[in-house]
Chain A
Amino acid sequence: MPAARFAFPAAVLLTLALLWELAVWGFQVPKWILPSPSAIWQAFWEMRALLAVHVAQTMLEVAIGVSTAVAAGVSVAAAINFSPWLRRAVYPLLVISQTVPILALAPLLIIWFGFGIAPKVIVVTLFCFFPIAINTSDGLTSTEPELIDLFRSMGATWLQIWRKVRLPAALPYFFSGLKIAATYSVTGAIVGEWVGAKQGLGIYMLRSSAAFKTAQVFSAIAITSLLSIALFLSVFALERTMMPWHFQER
């Protein structure tokens, strides 16, 4: 079954690449307008050593940014579930924060924090914070009241109720948010690099495109997608390890 699940989209993808290759060759499209898949592969292979350096930089930004977003998102979610007053005050702000165009914010972050890694990490954090905070918060709200009643009737402390009921109950929601965040995160880092950086996939794309090395741009785009997919799959794997009960056949 899993083999068949991947075989079909893979076949579609391969057919599309083949049509693409034939079209570029048949219509004699110049390489700087639209390179063929084989030319993209060639661009990747020639630049692989340099690409590795850029990928490492981007992934470092992603790692720090996502970790910060997890810490901040879970803390804010816990805080607004701790007090109804805080919830009323902060929840609307959370939603408003998400309406701010991060793309417009990125150049300002460069002005404020310079050309180092900090503004990129902040952009990744901004991209990832919201889905984690909102999902975790909804998860903490949705704890079954009967479970909390049971714990209270057993004389449990509020700390025990949080540790043994509310947090585990919110875990599936947290992972839904983390999966969304993981898919956003690489794009976030590239947006951060786009407006000014020394290293990273974003700046590699920008330089390649300025030099009309379109095949290099495409290879960097493909790498970005693959990294995002890899991140998504690792979150999925982590989810299965941490919540085996959630994936039981019912």
Chain B
Amino acid sequence: MTLLEVDALSKSFDGSARRGSSSRIEAVVDVTFTVHAGEFLTIIGPSGCGKSTLLRMLAGLAQPDAGSIALQGQPLPDASARQGRFGYMPQRDALLPWRSVIDNAILGAELAGGSRHAARAEARQLLTLFGLDGFENAWPSELSGGMRQRAALLRTFLAGYDILLLDEPFGALDALTRRVLQQWLLGVRARFSKTILFITHDVDEALLLGDRVLVFSPRPGRIAAQLSVDLPHPRNEDTVLETDFLALKRNALAHLKL
């Protein structure tokens, strides 16, 4: 079942006003793709290729110049109509420093006007799965980088949206922590029926996590290729060493060198 349809989406920004030039910088050009329910779609591309702009447009934080976005067949032309429809997680974890881990996690339910008590109870049941056991009442400043990302992901999962938009959630982590979290996310994903759009600039990460990979060209961002990753599940650390994986990786890298 098609959940999300993005059709011919384009977006440009004003060029630097300082230089007095009125040139427009094209961030995203003619991007078209669909996402099926339950699919894990990774988006890979060089820095500044407009991947984040794409997610911001979906989340209702930016308005495209042209093109359309439809969720479950329903077009959502207004940015405000898209707000509150996607589980958006910004590049940095965006945890509220004045809230404990658990109170950060229940933010979605709280903003929707739900019972905080019930939301906390629900969040508590997931603390173990998200590796936050015993840190329920800790301040975000007390957590390691990996734990902060897991807390932010818990908040995003609990907000109750069907589609999660994750903007380089592991981008700022060290390589080892990132690998641990990739494996962990594969495990978490198996338990939730969530549809995920996941931005990364790491080819291994894109292929290891995704069912399908959109390869973006350098700015202006266009879809250079769509690759299906038909590697079997469960995937683990060894997956990245297998012949099939390496063939896919070679293909993706070739498209990235446009």
User: Which A residues have a C-beta under 8 Å from some C-beta of B?
Assistant: 144, 146-147, 149-156, 160, 164-165, 168-169, 171, 243-246, 248-250
Contact = CB atoms under 8 A, between A and B. Distances in A.
Contacts of B61: 149, 152-153
Dominant SS among interface residues on chain B: loop
B96 A165 contact: yes
Which 8 pairs from chain A and chain B are nearest by CB?
A155-B84, A153-B88, A153-B59, A245-B139, A155-B83, A150-B94, A146-B90, A146-B94
Nearest to B91: A146
A153 B96 contact: no
A153 B86 contact: yes
A154 B84 contact: yes
Contacts of A244: 139
B79 to A, nearest CB: 9
Nearest to B165: A153
Interface string B6-43: 00000000000000000000000000000000000000
B60 interface: yes
Contacts of B91: 146
B47 interface: no
Contact of B96 (A154, A156, A168, A248): A168
Contacts of A150: 88-90, 94
Given A245-B97, A249-B142, 7 more contacts: A146-B92, A146-B94, A147-B94, A151-B111, A152-B83, A153-B88, A154-B111
Contact of B159 (A146, A154, A248): A154
25 contacts: A144-B94, A146-B94, A147-B96, A149-B59, A150-B88, A150-B89, A150-B90, A152-B60, A152-B83, A153-B84, A153-B86, A154-B107, A154-B108, A155-B84, A155-B111, A155-B112, A160-B111, A165-B96, A168-B96, A168-B98, A169-B98, A171-B98, A245-B97, A245-B140, A248-B141
Contact of B139 (A155, A156, A169, A248): A248
A193 to B, nearest CB: 40
B60 A245 contact: no
Given A245-B141, A248-B141, A156 B94 contact: no
B106 to A, nearest CB: 12
Nearest to A245: B139
B149 to A, nearest CB: 14
A144 B98 CA distance: 13
Nearest to B110: A164
Contacts of B108: 154
Contact of A153 (B83, B97, B99): B83
B141 A149 contact: no
B44 to A, nearest CB: 22
Contacts of B92: 146
Nearest to B89: A150
